[in-house]
Amino acid sequence: MCVRTVTNEEPIRTTLAMENNPTKLTKAKEKYMKLHEEMIEREEAEALRQEKAQTLYVPSINNDILAMSTIQYSIIFDKFSQYYSVWQQSKTYGILFHTTQPAHVIMIAAMLCVTSALVPTNEKNNPGHPHSRTASFIYLASFVMHFGAQIWMTFISGLSLYFALPRHTFGEVQRILFPRYFTINATLSLTTLLIFVKHHPTHSWDTEIAVQIAGMSLAFFLELVIRLYLTPPLLKLILAKNALERAAGVGNEIGRHNPGPLKHCPHYLKIHQAFRKVHVSIAMGNMLTMACTVLHLHYIASKLCVL
């Protein structure tokens, strides 16, 4: 039996054979040099392609109208944020937002504004104010934006975010949106009401007009009361409740409320009950204002003459 004991003899023989045959050695060297050159060319082509992509990408962003407008909006927003931060440190801000007197003043001014618009005038011989396209446009625009905001915030944004985000994240979003939502809605309700009353003087009211004005007035005052008297305590309760839940390591569940170890904490339960009470009151007020808006939508649909 033949046993191969020297295993390093084959490479040595191959090398000797290649040295004895210079043609094979030259071909192998050329082959590996060619492969090396192709690899270098591919690397240079890839680097050149990336460089071109970067040089083409920057001008496209700089010339993009949407990107430029977003940048300008960000700059303006940062400026306003800086001024707002400085204003927050002033005494005026503390009086306006940390006391209840400004809310009372705003409510009294709103009541006087609506009352003055509803006071009968001496225009009985005048059939009413002439309709203008500008007034009609503002009236319809304010009503449409008001109704659209209600539908979006109540049935789309609120429900979608609640079942898609962690509970604390959803609370932070709502804490930012709630004040803006009711401020905008109250402003739009007042605009719709004043223009409608201007084109329907008191002496020309019938039952249908009186019901519409009563509904719009109710919607406006409800939204103003929610913004001035219910939203601030709700935001404070959200902050207090979230602080306790973060300390206990809960609040990241999605689409449900799980207090975890806090379910036996009397202080937390008291804050949570107060939060639920205020939140339910706001939700009921919001649904009532939506009912008033739908009532006026039915009135507008009955008066359309374009269909």
Domain boundaries, the chain: 23-89, 101-121+130-303
The 8 Å CB, 24+ separation contacts for 196-201 are 196/139, 197/117, 197/118, 198/117, 198/129, 198/135, 199/128, 199/129, 199/131, 199/135, 200/128, 201/120, 201/121, 201/123, 201/126, 201/128, 201/129
pLDDT at 252 over 70: yes
Query: What is the CB neighbour count within 10 angstroms for residue 65?
Result: 7
pLDDT at 124 over 60: no
pLDDT at 188 over 60: yes
pLDDT for the residue 121: 60
Identify the three-state secondary structure at position 254: strand
Higher pLDDT, 55 or 175: 175
The 8 Å CB, 24+ separation contacts for 73-82 are none
306 confidence band (pLDDT: 50, 70, 90): low
Q: How far apart are CA 303 and CA 191, in angstroms?
A: 20
pLDDT for the residue 57: 45
DSSP state letters, 36-89: HHHHHHHHHHHHHHHHHHHHHHHHHHHT-HHHHHHHHHHHHHHHHHHHHHHHHT
pLDDT for the residue 58: 45
Q: What does the pLDDT average to over 276-288?
A: 96
pTM of the model: 0.70
pLDDT at 210 over 50: yes
Give 62-118 pLDDT, tens digit per residue.
556 777 777 878 888 788 878 877 776 777 766 666 666 778 888 888 888 888 888
